[in-house]
Structure 1
Amino acid sequence: MSDDLSDLDEMGPVDYLVVEFPGSRMTGEGFPLLLDLVDRRIIRILDLVFIRKDADGTVSGVELKDLGAEVDLTVFEGASSDLLGQDDIDEAGRALDPGNAAGIIVYENLWAAPFARAMRRSGAQVVAGGRIPVQALLASLDAVEAEAG
């Protein structure tokens, strides 16, 4: 196990995201914001992997240095806790449209670590969780407006 994960009892909740980039075009616009979250110790990057899905459906890894000059991710070079396995990468690849790329990020929510530790010490455990995508919230609000209109 990586030194980064040596004391699981002290960790905050761990989440993952798969972010698809249509046409494999990454502008890098969001990466300074990601770095800011790391610098402010709101999150800790455990794994960061980039993949590309070719027109024939083949999924392959993309090296950070191969993402193009407009995206400087050298600060994340070597961000790997080995939590992401080939099965995870394959599953993310199945979600992509051909010709697109994706970033797969696994991160610890440092902001929630004290709360999570307190809950574990008291014997509490998470029995369900989830995330509501913004698109689902917007669709729900549109439906409510349509019913009211």
Structure 2
Amino acid sequence: MGEQRMAGNAPVDLVLVEFSGDRFDGRVLAELERLAADGTITVLDALLVSRGPDGAVTWMEAANVDERLASLVGEPSGVLAAEDAELIAEELQPDTAIGMLVFEHTWAATLAEAVRGVGGRLVDWQRVPATALTALAEEASS
């Protein structure tokens, strides 16, 4: 990833979402707007990489994808760069797009502040893969 602005005291995630064809109807963007308005996340950067039916690859920063997405991202952090788009494009099938989104878990910053406020410190934070949770749930139900 490219040069980045420093996020707050909260974890930052990179999420890749693949779409086949032209299926952008605004539902995903509406949910991102809701999460940002609620203070749950802060969107730091976004890119859209697509490969047309003819195999041609294009990529766009948030400001060039959609006005609402541009407003949500604001000034891009520089976390995502051309080399990220190029890496994704290598694996992209024709008539497919991948949205790349970097966001900060804003809610976690307030939790960390509360922990520090009582003299505690955050020792570790790890993401549990969804596949591991699914496997545990299946094991528990059998």
Question: TM-score by structure 1 length?
Answer: 0.66
Question: Aligned residue for 2:16?
Answer: 18
Match of 1:31 in 2: 29
Q: 1:105 aligns with which of 92, 101, 105?
A: 101
The amino acid that maps onto 2:127 is: G
1:130 match: 127
Q: Which runs of 5+ in 2 are unaligned?
A: none
Distance change in 2, residues 1:29/1:137 (3 Å): farther
Which residue of structure 2 aligns with residue 42 of structure 1? 40
Aligned to 1:83: 79
Which is worse superposed, 88-97 or 98-107? 88-97
**Unmatched segments (≥5 aa) in structure 1:** none
Match of residue 49 from structure 2 = 51
Counterpart in 1 of 2:135? 140
Please tell me the residue identity of whatever aligns with 1:36: R
Shift of 1:86: 2.4
- Stretch deviating more after TM superposition (27-36 or 72-81): 72-81
Distance 1:143 1:40, change over 3 A: closer
Q: Deviations over 1:36-77 (max 9, x none)?
A: 000011100000111102346553213658758xx9535336
Instruction: Judge which range, 37-46 or 106-115, deviates more.
Output: 106-115
Classify the secondary structure of the residue corresponding to 2:99: strand
Cα offset for 1:103? 1.1
Which stretch of structure 1 is more off in the superposition, 12-21 or 25-34? 25-34
Aligned Cα RMSD in Å?
A: 3.7
Provide the TM-score with structure 2 as the length reference: 0.69
| Pair 1:101–1:141, CA change in 2 (3 A) | same
User: 1-side partners of 2:25 and 2:133: how far apart?
Assistant: 25
